[in-house]
Structure 1
Amino acid sequence: MPLAIAAPPPNIVFLLIDDMGYADLSCYGSKLVNTKNIDQLAREGIRFTQFYVSAPICSPSRTGLLTGQYPQRWRINSFLENRESNTKRGMAQWLDLKAPSIARELQKSGYATGHFGKWHMGGQRDVGDAPLITEYGFDTSLTQFEGLGDRILPLLETYDGKPPAKHALGSDKLGRGEITWMERAKITGAFAARAQAFMSEAQENKKPFYVNLWLDDIHSPFFPEKALRSDGTKKTLYNAVVQSMDDQLAPLLGYLHTVPNTIVIVASDNGPEPGAGSAGAFRGFKGNLYEGGIREPLIVWGPGRVKSGLVNEKSVVTSVDLFPSLLKLAGVTLPKAYIPDGEDRSDALLGKSQLLRRRPIFWKRPPDRPGPAGERFPDLAVREGDWKLLSMTDGTAPQLYNLGSDPGEAKNLASTEPERVRQLTEKLLAWNKTLP
């Protein structure tokens, strides 16, 4: 009997959208835009309805995606800002180079690795001595004002006859890379084009590739092209940027349809900015631990490897699952010293199973997002099965929701389920004690 020939490792493209709400793509229910190019990936692949990020704000969420570990383990609890602010909030100035990196593991296994777009794990504002993105396992990078190395910085065009304003937040003074100024409305297309060129080169060199295309869109400030600005309200401008983003991705997504053995992952890093995006039926938004802040779209596409036309409503997947899952798909063994916070969910990503997860998921609120006076947002949260508990750091003020019957977190069941509250609180506080 002939030996089975192992499948070649897949190309992997991770498309991460910035600050997009759960319901901002038309394939997730938006009636205000027609994201036909991303929708096509959803139709031809799998659309998940229970995907979570590890934090409701950018820097820690991205840390969870890169490392597969809860970002608080690396003292990244909120968005990285200037040195004084980072120190005041008890945070690191950048992600420690000792942290795990999915790109580093794939690079060591022969992958061509590239990062194109937003980084925000060090090298922003006045932090000019952070490591370069390439030191985390990427062969090449092109970023924006929240990372070092070659970068594209935006010009904010208001179409009023005045020169466009530069929006750099200090990045233009840090050096350590070539700077290109570009109209903000066109930057997504530029990142996509550079990513496509990198993929083409990897193909020519007969190497599998791993590419982060982590867009600066659709984060504020919102500056779409003039024809899309309409009444100029925040909501209108936001949806115009969503539409423009999808349009600018069309050439790259068309190209990927010609590249065999490729898996594309589409997600967002956290919930929407209030007054801009939509979390749909979910409560909350960017910065808090209700579903609207941490539940995000997840689309997985890969003709010949990923099942087509599925909507997975059962599998609870979290961003820290991607590290072990993608390494498994690439045939790469986890590092010996690596302690995963996530689970291997590769079968779910391929559409082979919808098995329930084994371990609970935990969250910690960014310290600089306490909520309105007199109505503080919960500090901690845990989900196990359909049950989700939110509480303060000492376990007080519990809120308990059954997400199976109440995904909008409208009915607090803490008073009627005291034993469940006790059990989940115990697990949540025990997890919190493991953090620095």
Structure 2
Amino acid sequence: MSNSLLKNFDLHKCILSAIGLTTAVMQPIHAAQKPNVIVIYTDDLGYGDVGCYGAEGYETPHLDQMAKEGMRFTDFSTSSSICTPSRAGLLTGRYAKRWGHNGKVYFPDSKDGMPPSEITIAEMLKPQGYQTALVGKWHLGHQPQYLPTAQGFDYYFGIPYSNDMWQAPEIPLAKNVIFNDGLTRDDYLDPKQATAKFRNRVPLMQRTEVIEWPVDQTQLTRRYTEEALAFIRENENGPFFLYFAHAMPHIPLYASEPFKGSSERGLFGDVIQEIDWSVGQILSFLNERGLAENTLVVFTSDNGPWLQKKTEAGSADPLRNGKFSDYEGGCRVPCIAWQPGFIPTNQVCNVNTSTLDILPTIASLSGAELPKNRVLDGLDITPVLKGDFGNAPKRDYQLYRSKNAIRVGDWKYLKTKNKIELYNLASDTSEQQNLADNYPEKVSSLAKKLAEVNAKMRRSQ
């Protein structure tokens, strides 16, 4: 690591020390019997965007160390290649299609959201005595009945949707709200031409109110990290569940001053290095407070890179395509799991796994009851986390964003406007060899399976 980057890390550590969020090494406390859980969810981070996955032009020493001390997944996917249904799948263990979601994202002028009847990880854990918080991006509806505080989260601090959007005047303003950039209350309450006038100027919320608009996005990663550390510190006697959802590297990209110009890759690399620093702060704090062995930490992304943004986008290499796509680059993402003493060190897992698996796995580890009267699409991958890959549960199928693609085992079927495609992902991860003409029976069976699955994806399930 360069001397300049080390200075940047030291400067950030000083900032947090000044507000009392980092501490000297302390005697371990008695950990809660039930495991704490932290899910760190990045936005538009591609499969090839972390050092231990082959990234170049910037450094991710903390994530690389996390992988050495834990498990790195090579076949881990989200439930969709776009963020709203992806986040719903993570939190509920179900494809968003099951409650009728159309595969699109919510905007500041959207009136709907994930149905309150859906049961999130946070709601599942509350009866087990967990304190729950979301720090970061939500994007499952910003109307009061759809907010995180209505879905099991005791505390919320973050932006309600993507960081390239604008204000939603119906979200109430806090009494002491801060207005930046010379904007006023009247600007916030005026929805006219909002996308043209205020794009990239998003509100910062605390619980159910806007406390700042527009938020200074250069400070988001730092402020999120401070808030996450504060929550952990307040609940270190546990158990707790922290969903830490970064705003970036979704565009527009912003990095705080200590990280600007710190990488060879430009602003994108600077952003990733600051996210890596944030992960390091979380893991260091867990170690310092004696919480590491009782805290499962999962780092991953909501979908692949937004390749159309070119230099502002990451990479899915060696996978094909990126965000929005049914190809592997759209939803196969980096994933690292860490819990010293529980997850074996320096493990590489090639088992087909998914964000859908996080809810049932947490249920198993915590003793929580699975949501009743719900068809779950996720699997309990506790054996996988223990390194027992031979006893990994078998996935019946994997769906993609559209209704035209399915994976069963190593075989993947796609139907586009112009052709039928069939790939064997075991031998062709990059999806370059279309085998549809070679295996017509396989094409037929997968097409039939896809039709059957689509027919069952109903709101009532």
Question: Under a length normalisation based on structure 2, what TM-score does the superposition of the two structures give?
Answer: 0.78
Q: How many angstroms apart in 2 are the aligned matches of 1:120 and 1:248? A: 22
- What does residue range 374-389 of structure 1 map to in structure 2 within 5 Å? 379-389=403-413
Instruction: State the Cα deviation string for residues 372-427 of structure 1 (Å, max 9, x = none).
Output: xxxxxxx521111111111149xx83210011111000010001100011111111
Find the residue that maps to 2:232 and give its secondary structure: helix
Q: Give the 3 Å change call, closer, same or farther, for CA 169–122 of structure 1 in structure 2.
A: farther
The one-letter code of the counterpart of 1:236 is G
Q: What does 1:104-115 align with in structure 2 at a 5 Å threshold?
A: 104-115=123-134
Q: Is the 8 A contact 1:46 1:312 kept in 2?
A: yes
Match of 1:187, as an amino acid? L
Native 8 Å contact 1:382 1:390 kept in 2: yes
For 1:32-431, list aligned pairs within 5 A.
32-76=57-101, 77-83=103-109, 93-123=112-142, 128-146=143-161, 171=203, 176-180=208-212, 182-203=215-236, 206-225=237-256, 236-258=266-288, 259=291, 260-274=293-307, 275=310, 276-313=313-350, 315-355=351-391, 357-365=393-401, 379-392=403-416, 397-431=419-453
2:212 maps to amino acid: T
Partners of 1:291 and 1:341 in 2: CA distance: 19
**Distance (whole Å) between structure 2 residues aligned to residue 253 and residue 187 of structure 1:** 19
Instruction: Name the structure with the higher helix share.
Output: 2
CA contact (8 A) 2:136 2:246 kept: yes
Alignment CA distance shift 1:350-1:186 (3 Å): farther
CA displacement at 1:192 relative to structure 2: 1.6
2:89 alignment partner AA: G
The Cα of 1:195 is off from its aligned counterpart by 1.4
1:11 to 25, 33, 36: 36
CA pair 310-362 structure 1, distance change in 2 beyond 3 A: closer
Q: CA deviation at 1:35?
A: 0.8
Contact 1:12 1:211 in 2 (8 A): yes
Percent of pairs identical after alignment?
A: 33
Describe the superposition over 1:326-374 as per-residue Cα deviations: whole angstroms up to 9, x where unpaired.
Answer: 11011222133232112111111232334454233332436xxxxxxxx
8 Å contact from structure 2 (residues 159, 205) kept in 1: no
Output the CA distance in 1 between the equivalents of 2:415 and 2:451: 10
Select between 64-73 and 193-202 the one with higher mean Cα deviation. 193-202
State how far apart, in whole Å, the 2-side matches of 1:416 and 1:149 are: 59
Q: Match of 2:61, as an amino acid?
A: K
**Native 8 Å contact 2:205 2:212 kept in 1:** no
Specify whether residues 297 and 149 from structure 1 end up closer, same or farther in structure 2 by C-alpha distance, changes over 3 A only. farther
Other-structure match for 2:184: none
- Once the two structures are TM-superposed, the CA of residue 222 in structure 1 deviates from its matched residue by 1.2
Q: Distance in 2 between matches of 1:154 and 1:361?
A: 48
Aligned-partner Cα distance in 1 for 2:263–2:39: 32
- State the aligned residue count: 393
SS at match of 1:191: helix
- State the secondary structure of the residue aligned to 2:79: coil
Normalising by the residue count of structure 1, what TM-score does the alignment of the two structures yield?
0.83
After superposition, give the CA deviation of every residue in 1:24-68 in whole Å (9 maximum; x if it has no partner). Answer: 010111121111111111110000100010000000000000110
Partners in 1 of 2:118 and 2:412 — Cα distance? 29
Offset of 1:180 from its aligned partner? 2.9
CA distance in 2, matches of 1:230, 1:262: 34
Q: CA RMSD, aligned part only?
A: 3.0
Contact preservation (8 Å) 1:400, 1:421:
yes
CA deviations on 1:298-337 (whole Å, 9 max, x unpaired) are 1100011111111112x11011111111110112221332
